Structure 1
């Protein structure tokens, strides 16, 4: 997969993640538990036609690479899917040259000798076929046992620690690990989380907000929770909804559609967004994404907004595809280059630059630090740099050059610094991840390269977006990722399940502990809470979903919230695709919301923009 050179100014973003060509039609994708066809969704730089899906994972037919926010799109095809909780057909074994290979996680039968009957092991015999005496057999058995113990001890001693390589291959989470405490208890290695289980974990449906009517595919990504409101991007606006009733508390009109939203919020509830300078009109339902602004989530005020020139945009407004926040620095990136602004007043800290190396900041990862993913070099031989920046000046503190075969990189965490990439477009499953890179943010040195088998692990990144990864969490010196769904212990119809496993960031090796979803549930990690993980347990077709807190050391789960199993409520919950929705939990409240909506079709069931649940409120 190759990337075209930067297009001329004022062109719409193309399906390669840049600008200049129309975007392919975003389709629906089946949710968890639906009978699966062989995967047709390529990934973010995968051997199939490598695209990326738009945002926290909305359902769409992936383009060759991921388009930016605000690109022109066709309405998605009518969804032919069941919700993720619908019972699935049993997986069929794959065949290789006439041999049937059981699917992932399928219990295998022990091989029997020819004829199918178990045979007793032959007794030890001496040369010439004579049987050994009982005493001699005991001596031989003892010698063999000692040899085995010594051999295992040597192997174990040689398999631990740092090793001679910075690269450590990840091993299977479903075949390893225990649920023991691993010597780490309490509230997790990084300390206790804020989320505590209520006396009664049973939740009720708090409110639902229907999808607004739109003439074409519309990006509505961006959602945040405050003490008083659930704030969500709408159509040419941002709206705050009362936590209990769902009634609008305030509405902020904008000049155009929101086309980028920060995952990170300041301590005083300020959040950066990107939006379009004018409203979209038919027949070309598109406007360039050029405006940067900051919203006060408490008051609904747009504190400031601005645009900037430079980079490949020249004297025109630079176009951006994503935005983030680190401390007092707002940073926006795209194929026109990267820029940064002061959170308080919007004053530029740096702007896109033209340089002899053809380098530009594709985007930034924010939060505890500020990390740039920088593309450099001519079109035929581009390479990718990961730079830990001084947020105030943009000066690199450290730098790591990604290996050959990496065309894009996504920042999973800035402190500790963890980056995901699809090396050589080898993932092949639509996840955009073949490997994770654990880096020293001070020196830029590679600490460990974690190879994540695409058939085994379920985290996802939009490869052309720098801060887009979902279901991969970093904390406690570990990387936590879920496994793909596989058959559960009962072997019953629709009995898929999965686990969350952890890698040590210093060595790249899996730790012994793991968290099990339980039969017919699927764990979806959402965020860290101190040293704990907050995760959603997607339910089977006859139950409600759960929110659990997973101790980051012991990997033991505690239920925080459980949704009703009533069909009408469950249907609303499971109407969201887990690869297309924004999921958020805070203080006994759980929200599911869409990030991409399209024109309603005749005969469609009721579609929701937001569904909210609450416990103990």
Structure 2
């Protein structure tokens, strides 16, 4: 697969990432030991179950998820397990890495989960694993006939999503293959629902192709072109492949569809953000980003939020807009906050970047952004700060602990799901929920990571971290062989769930 020159493992970004991971080597928090301890108390028989399976109403009366249309983008509200003690549900290992050339990686973009299945993209296929206890091996495999080029974190309410694929280069072809196939599939069954060829996609590569989903629509952009398809049947709804001074760099989906456009070249490049009618591609409003901006990300389509790198390649401010595209507020990052936009794959532009700010979460009223980690051992490792989307003012702060940095994962109703890493050998890693109105923290899952994970699985720049229906999924985005034992299997993914008491 043609990725262009891979980033050297000796770059400063790699050294920094390895330095962070060396501090994150965790000992296994014995789920089996915790289970034995609980059994010894005579409490009863413990079984893995989905949240709410015990029939109890959550004690804190958390809001239940509103019923969604199947074509809407999923917005689940999590209910904590009866006990936050974590149980390891599955471990996925990658083999055959000794076949890679020195310095090569096996890329593994795309992590999705439903109530029954954990699905993971790797190279040229997607594997679906059952979350049921004692299940072994994948229950389905979706062969893609080419390498993954772009993925989306979005999943429909009934468990479907899409990927873009680069078919194998035809035998004898002089040019590299392009990313011109979009595949829509069902996560529970692994069934390919449809596949379509993107029009005029001769310049679509893994470095510039962005994919997203909004209600009933799959949309892809690659700079010199864009296209949207109907989820139901793969019918093309519209495309934007005409010659223009402005190009669709990428889309942000979810509740709405935003387009990020670049106009001009080099130092004269300017940015525009448009809200589009997903069925027609027609703009409903346009917001002109100030000149001098180096880069723009779209972490939220509704409410519209821009992450802007003004005069620098790092994000310097967040800009919020009204639903009609009118400016609302600016939140300066002030050199202390780090939303981690574009940090995946050691800042290489692979598999789609426009929507991805991994340390920033947006809900209806607030922005939650993590601060940079502090080296001091007697101070909180960092904070998550909440900002009002209407005013840009601070509305709350969630503190990490010494050696335990915190990062926002996603909104769950009126609360925020947070991962708190553990850099000690005693305290477990935790997922907690935080209510910014009451400042209440509630344990969700307590767990440890296998030592062979080397701390990478909880590193936002290294792994996908997904919480869905009472389970946590940690999955590496790229896989490298152990240099000391290249033939050894490498741990790539784990799933953790809570315990609930059988009545």
Smaller-chain TM-score bracket = 0.7 to 0.9
Higher strand share: 2
CA contact (8 A) 2:315 2:338 kept: no
| Counterpart residue number, 2:341 | 461
For 2:118, the equivalent position in structure 1 comes to: 230
Q: Please name the residue that 2:33 is paired with.
A: none
* 1:397 alignment counterpart: 284
* Cα 1:378–1:546 shift into 2, 3 Å: closer
**Does the 8 Å contact 1:410/1:421 carry over to 2?**
yes
Summarize the Cα distance change of 1:278–1:60 in structure 2 as closer, same or farther, 3 Å threshold: farther
The answer as to 2:376 corresponding to 1:437 is no
Correspondence list, 1:571-582, <5 A: 571-572=452-453, 574-576=455-457, 577-582=459-464
Q: Which runs of 5+ in 1 are unaligned?
A: 1-10, 14-21, 30-39, 42-58, 63-78, 88-184
- Which residue pairs with 2:477 in the alignment? 595
- Measured after TM superposition, the shift of residue 525 of structure 1 is 0.8
Deviation at residue 571 of structure 1 after TM alignment: 4.7
Task: Please tell me whether residue 213 in structure 1 is matched to residue 195 in structure 2.
Answer: no
Q: Which residue in 1 is equivalent to 2:239?
A: 351
CA spacing shift, 1:462–1:317, aligned 2, 3 Å: closer
Which position in structure 2 is the counterpart of 1:544? 428
Q: Which position in structure 2 is the counterpart of 1:369? A: 256
The equivalent of 1:382 in structure 2 is 269
Cα RMSD, aligned residues only: 3.2
Q: 1:206 to 1:83 in 2, by over 3 A?
A: farther
Please say if residues 440 and 447 of structure 1, whose CA atoms lie closer than 8 Å, have aligned partners that are also in contact.
yes
- Structure 2 gap segments, 5+ residues each: 27-59, 67-74, 344-348
Deviation at 1:325, TM superposition (A): 0.3
Q: Alpha carbons of 1:363 and 1:294: their partners in 2 closer, same or farther (altered >3 Å)?
A: same
Q: Which residue of 2 is the match for residue 85 of structure 1?
A: 24
Distance 2:142 2:414 in 1: 36
Deviation at 1:264, TM superposition (A): 0.9
Give the secondary structure class of the aligned counterpart of 1:407: strand
CA distance in 2, matches of 1:254, 1:292: 10
Q: Residue 317 and residue 522 in structure 1: after superposition, are their counterparts in 2 closer, same or farther (change >3 A)?
A: closer
Distance 1:351 1:236, change over 3 A: same
Whether contact under 8 Å (1:273, 1:293) holds in the other structure is yes
| Secondary structure of 1:336 counterpart | coil
Q: Per-residue CA shift, 1:565-600, capped at 9, x if unaligned? A: 8xxx35537243331100112233211111122355
8 Å CA contact retained: 1:487, 1:496: no
CA shift for structure 1 position 201: 1.3
The aligned runs of 1:175-324 (5 Å cut-off) are 187=62, 194-214=77-97, 215=100, 216-243=104-131, 244=133, 245-278=135-168, 287-310=177-200, 316=202, 318-319=204-205, 321-324=209-212
* Displacement after TM superposition at 1:334 (Å): 1.4
Question: Runs of at least 4 residues of structure 1 off by over 6 A?
Answer: 190-193
Alignment map for 1:468-483 (pairs within 5 Å): 468-483=356-371
CA contact (8 A) 1:528 1:534 kept: yes
Is contact 1:362-1:373 (8 Å) kept?
A: yes
> 3-state DSSP class of the match of 1:520?
coil
- On the 8 A contact 2:203/2:222 being kept in 1, the answer is no
What pairs with 1:69-84 in structure 2 (closer than 5 Å)?
A: 82-84=21-23
Specify whether residues 376 and 246 from structure 1 end up closer, same or farther in structure 2 by C-alpha distance, changes over 3 A only: farther
Q: For each residue in 1:473-504, what CA deviation from the matched residue of structure 2 results, as whole angstroms up to 9, or x when unmatched?
A: 1114111111122256x72xxx6522111111
TM-score, L = length of structure 1: 0.65
SS class of match (2:161):
strand
- Asked if 1:25 corresponds to 2:2, the answer is no
Number of aligned residue pairs: 437
Q: Which residue, out of 503, 518, 523, partners 2:401?
A: 518
Counterpart position of 2:413: 530
For residues 507-550 of structure 1, the C-alpha deviation after alignment (integer angstroms, 9 at most, x for no partner) is 11112x21122232111111111111111111023132101011
2:327 corresponds in structure 1 to: 446
For residue 277 of structure 1, report the CA deviation from its aligned partner: 1.0
Contact 1:218–1:597 at 8 Å: present in 2 too?
A: yes
- CA shift for structure 1 position 342: 1.1
Partner of 1:500: 384
Shift of 1:376: 1.3
Matched residue SS, 2:180: strand
Cα distance change of structure 1 residues 570 and 496 upon mapping to structure 2, 3 Å threshold:
farther
The separation in 2 between residues aligned to 1:317 and 1:501, in whole angstroms, is 40
* Alignment partners' CA distance in 2, 1:212 and 1:374: 41
